[in-house]
Amino acid sequence: MTLLSMELASLLARHESAAIVEITQTEGSTPREAGAQMLVSAHQSFGTIGGGHLEFHAIDMARAMLAGGEDQRELTLHLGPQMGQCCGGRVQLKLWRAKSVDVTDLARLEAQDETALPDIAIFGAGHTGQALARQLAHLPFKVRLIDDRIDTLATVCAPILPLQHDHPGDLIADLPIGTAVVVLTHSHALDYTILAAALRRHDFAYVGMIGSQTKKARFASWFMASGGTRPALSRLTCPIGGADVKDKRPAIIAALTAAELVRALLHK
C-alpha cells in the first residue's frame, strides 16, 4: 500500500510541487468513497481515487492548478458518458497545493488507518501458510505468521509480523477481538489444540482450518469429547477457501482463502 505521507515528504524534499486530490462527497454509484485521496506531481501520481477517466481528469486538473500557480480547486464531476464512465454517480473533489503540514496530516491519518486494520493470525508457516501471508501482504490487514519452528520464519518480510512460540496455542488468549484465525500447522494435534482454544472464544471474526471433510469430522469428534459445544463448533470454517475448487497447490489455496478472509473481515 502506498503511504502518501512518505511520497509527499520525498517530493517536497526535492522541491517539487504536488497537489492532494480528495473525494469530499459522493452520490450514487462511485468507484471510491468519500475521503479517498491521491497525490499528484508534474510527472507522477500516487494512490487512487478510483481510476479510469475520473482519475485521469483529476490528475490533469491538479497539474493545471500547479502550473497555473493556484492553491486550491473544487470540482463536481458526473460519472456518465461524457466523462467516459458508466457508474452514473457524482463526486465532489477538492484539490490543493500540498505543504509540509500536509505530510504530518497524512501521516496521522495513515496511522489511524493502520490501527483500524483487521487482524489476521496465521498459525503455521509451511508452504500454504507462507503463500497465504504473501497474498495478504498486499491487502489492508495486520497479519501475524506464527510457528513453533524458528527456521520457517527466517524469510518472512514486512509487513507480515513473524512470531515464534514453542506453544502457539498459548497466543490465542491475547489476540485482539475480531481477529481472523487461520490454522494450518505441520501437526494435526497442534491444529486441534489451537483450533479448540480459538473456538472457545466467542469474539473472533473467523476461525478456519486447512483440511478435508474427514479431518473436520475427526476434529469435531475430538472437540466434543473434550468439552466443546455445538455452537462453538458451528463457527469453524473447514476446509479453508471452500471445497468447490479441487486444486490443492499452496498458491491456489492461499488465493481462495484470502478472498474468504476479505469477505469475512471487510463485509461492512
Supply 111's cell numbers: 496511522
Domain boundaries, the chain: 4-114, 117-265
User: What is the chain's pLDDT, residue by residue, as a tens digit (268 residues)?
Assistant: 468 999 999 999 999 999 999 999 999 988 899 999 999 999 999 999 998 889 999 999 999 999 999 999 999 988 876 666 666 688 999 999 999 999 999 999 988 888 889 999 999 999 999 999 999 999 999 999 999 999 999 999 888 999 999 999 999 999 999 999 999 999 999 999 999 999 999 999 999 999 999 999 999 999 999 999 999 999 999 999 998 888 999 999 999 999 999 999 997 5
Q: How far apart are CA 234 and CA 230, in angstroms?
A: 6
> In 3D, which of 204, 261, 206, 196 has the Cα closest to residue 237?
206
Q: pLDDT for 174-184, tens place per residue?
A: 999 999 999 99
Phi, psi of 63 (to 5 degrees): -70, -35
CA 265 to mean position of chain CA atoms? 9
Cis peptide before 159 (omega within 30 of 0): yes
Spatial distance between the Cα atoms of 230 and 164, rounded to a whole number of angstroms:
32
Q: Per the structure block, which three cell numbers stand in for 13? A: 524534499
Nearest partner of 129 among 155, 108, 90, 104, judged by Cα = 155
pLDDT at residue 114, rounded to an integer: 84
Q: From CA 184, how far away is CA 129, in angstroms rounded?
A: 7
Look up the CATH number of domain 117-265: 3.40.50.720
Please give the pLDDT value at position 84: 61
Confidence (pLDDT) at 82: 62
